[in-house]
Amino acid sequence: MNPYLTNNLFKFTWLIAVIWSFTSCDKTVNAYPKTGSSGLDWSLYPGGDSLDYLSQGYWPTFNPNTNTLRNVLIEDFTGHQCANCPASTSNMESLIATNPSRIFGVGIHSGPTGLTTFQMTSSDFPTVLYCNEGLEIGNFFGSIPGSAFVGNPSFCVNRVQAGGQFNSNAGPAITDKTNNCLSSTLKVNIQAASNYFASTRGLFLHTEVDKIDQTLTNELGIAVYLIEDSLIAKQQLVGTYDNNYVHRDILRGCIDGSAFGKTLTADYLDANGKYYVNYAYRLPDQYNPDNMHLVIYVYDKTTYEIYQVIKEHLN
């Protein structure tokens, strides 16, 4: 046979094999879901080759999710010039310490109208601890008619309501909401896998969402918080201040730029009945990946209740 034809026949056969590998995946394990590479910035992968990412085994194969327990996200609306906030945050951290594998906290530096004097920077308090998404979330819950969120500190617990209120200020109310959620029936499961590449500061996150309770009829949303583990910066206290205060679990944004994430539409639904949402994100230069993690949660788009939350480390 003509060597030129032979060479081209080989190339054509190889191309068909690659295409087949992308279109004939095992839908049960979702090795390369139909939403796999759509919209992802492959320049964040060293070399920029999505096929190489797949061949190197970076794309996860999720095993069946056997988890049966519901986790809790406590959103702490706080501020570095709020004198009463540290004591309330400490109470929250003590509660988290009772079950750290299932209770997660996030410090959202926002007031009920977004940016207030408690979060503003000044010559005395120069460190920026707020972010646009956090201010949007605070303003959202503060603007609900009749909202009890009128100042800092304030807390949401899985965004469940008690007495018609999302936000709570008192320690016992937070504890009660947390315990009720921990003991409630799991309705949604989440799995996640991530890969971080230092040379590009590129983060690839892969998530699987399994709606266990098929009676859920409202749309579901998925959001991913970028969290800074800890940072030493000045904090106002009652009658004094602390220059070496350790701020923990600081919300630094959402990796898709949306405070309320994405809606789980049919575009993300696989043939196995589960949702697969994938992200590519460049970690801003000011953050140390060893001091960062992600909080991933799925919530009801109508009631805003968070059905499940998990934590994923970058490194």
pLDDT tens-digit series, residues 45-85: 999 999 999 999 999 999 999 999 999 999 999 999 999 99
Residue of 37 and 306 predicted with greater confidence: 306
**In which region does residue 30 sit, left (phi positive, over 0), alpha (psi from -120 to 50) or beta (all else)?**
left
Measured in Å, how far apart are the chain's first and last C-alpha atoms?
Answer: 53
Q: Which 3 state secondary structure label does DSSP give 93?
A: helix
Q: How confident is the model at residue 171 (pLDDT cuts 50, 70, 90)?
A: confident
Identify each DSSP E strand in 138-260 by its residue range.
154-157, 167-168, 188-197, 202-211, 220-232, 235-237, 240-242, 246-254
From CA 23, how far away is CA 27, in angstroms rounded? 10
**290: number of Cβ within 10 Å:** 10
- 6 pLDDT exceeds 50? no
Under 8 Å between Cβ of 294 and 255: yes
Q: What are the residues whose beta carbons fall under 8 Å from the beta carbon of 307, sequence distance 6 or more?
A: 70, 158, 186, 187, 188, 216, 220, 298, 299, 300
- Mean pLDDT, residues 30-47: 72
Residue 160's contacts (CB-CB under 8 Å, 6 or more residues apart) are 166, 177, 180, 181, 305, 306
CB-based contacts of 43: which residues, under 8 Å, 6+ apart?
Answer: 200, 202
The fold of 72-313 is Immunoglobulin-like (2.60.40)
Question: What percent of the chain has a predicted confidence (pLDDT) above 70?
Answer: 88
CA pair distance 229, 217, nearest whole angstrom = 35
Mean pLDDT, residues 173-182 taken together: 96
Residue 1 banded pLDDT, cuts 50, 70, 90:
very low
pLDDT bracket for residue 31 (50, 70, 90): very low
Strands 240-242 and 154-157, bridge-based pairing: unpaired
User: Tokens representing 22?
Assistant: 């992308």
pLDDT of residue 16: 36
pLDDT digits (tens, 9 = 90+) for 267-291: 999 999 999 999 999 999 999 999 9
Q: What is the pLDDT of residue 315?
A: 77
Does residue 170 carry a pLDDT above 80?
Answer: no
Q: Out of 33-37, 62-66, 152-156, pick the least confident.
A: 33-37
